[in-house]
């Protein structure tokens, strides 16, 4: 004859198993509906292709490969963070950009020398989405700046990753303004 505790244990096991199966089947079948949610916020209005023109450096400063670095950063970011296919030539979206400012200037002066320098880059963007004419940018500037120690030269700031940080932030801002509509 079973004891009271064995009966209770048996019933709890059955209830736990039944509850688990109920939760599992609910989760399994709830995945069959056609509602989809996106946390990325990307809204391309049916656009499937993007042409990213070579970026030119009209700022008069910066490394010789600055335009190419920005171009590749834009292509990489759009490719990784959107379903758009990058094409050469006719596309649903056209992105053109130019580096218009490249500055490294003192921002805080003390004791006859700079206490801190500000490193800033501005990229001007033209963006056209043929599927959604409301998301068009004409000569829109994107600027980002970082403060660097007074002991660093512009060459050191370019080499230590500061320039990369600036470019990455501008690319992020361009993407959010165009594809993510933020």
CATH number for the domain spanning 134: value is 3.30.160.150
Number of H helices, E strands in the chain: 4, 6
Residues 67, 22 share a domain: no
Residue 33 has pLDDT above 80, yes or no: no
- What's the CA dihedral at 64, 67, 73, 78 to 10 degrees? -170
Q: Residues 149-159: what's their mean pLDDT? A: 89
Residues 80, 127 share a domain: yes
Domain count, the chain: 2
- pLDDT attached to residue 46: 84
Residue 5 in domain: yes
Q: How far apart are CA 42 and CA 143, in angstroms?
A: 22
Tell me which of 140 and 132 has the higher pLDDT. 140
Residue 43 in domain: no
Residues 58, 144 share a domain: yes
% of the chain beyond a pLDDT of 70: 72
- pLDDT attached to residue 136: 87
Residues 78, 29 share a domain: no
Domain that holds residue 10: 1-36
Q: Per-residue pLDDT tens for 42-62?
A: 767 789 999 999 999 999 889
Q: What angle do CA 147, 150, 155 make, to 5 degrees?
A: 80
Q: Per-residue pLDDT tens for 83-127?
A: 999 999 899 999 999 999 999 998 866 666 657 889 999 999 999
- pLDDT attached to residue 30: 44
For the chain, give the mean pLDDT. 81
First to last CA, the chain: 70
Q: Per-residue DSSP letters for 36-90?
A: ---SS----TT--EEEEPPPEE-SS-S-TTHHHHHHHHHHHHHHHHSSPEE-SSS
Cβ–Cβ under 8 Å, residues 49 and 83: no
Q: How far apart are CA 20 and CA 1, in angstroms?
A: 29
Residue 137 has pLDDT above 80, yes or no: yes
Residues 172, 92 share a domain: yes
Cβ–Cβ under 8 Å, residues 141 and 165: no
Tell me which of 37 and 67 has the higher pLDDT. 67
Residue 123 in domain: yes
Q: How buried is 163 (Cβ within 10 angstroms: 0-12 exposed, 13-18 middle, 19+ buried)?
A: buried
- pLDDT attached to residue 45: 79
Residue 41 in domain: no
């Amino acid at each position: 004859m079973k004891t009271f505790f064995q009966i209770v244990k048996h019933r709890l096991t059955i209830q736990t198993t039944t509850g688990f199966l109920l939760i599992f089947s609910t989760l399994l079948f709830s995945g069959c509906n056609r509602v989809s949610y996106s946390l990325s916020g990307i809204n391309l209005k049916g656009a499937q292709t993007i042409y990213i023109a070579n970026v030119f450096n009209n700022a008069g400063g910066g490394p010789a490969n600055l335009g190419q670095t920005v171009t590749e950063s834009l292509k990489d970011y759009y490719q990784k963070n959107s379903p758009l296919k990058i094409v050469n030539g006719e596309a649903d979206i056209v992105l053109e950009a130019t580096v218009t400012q490249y500055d490294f200037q003192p921002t805080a002066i003390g004791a006859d020398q700079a206490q801190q320098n500000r490193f800033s880059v501005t990229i001007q963007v033209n963006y056209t989405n043929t599927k959604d004419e409301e998301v068009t940018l004409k000569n829109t500037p994107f600027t980002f700046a970082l403060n660097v120690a007074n002991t660093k030269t512009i060459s050191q700031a370019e080499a230590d990753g500061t320039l990369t940080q600036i470019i990455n932030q501008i690319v992020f801002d361009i993407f959010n303004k165009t594809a993510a509509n933020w």
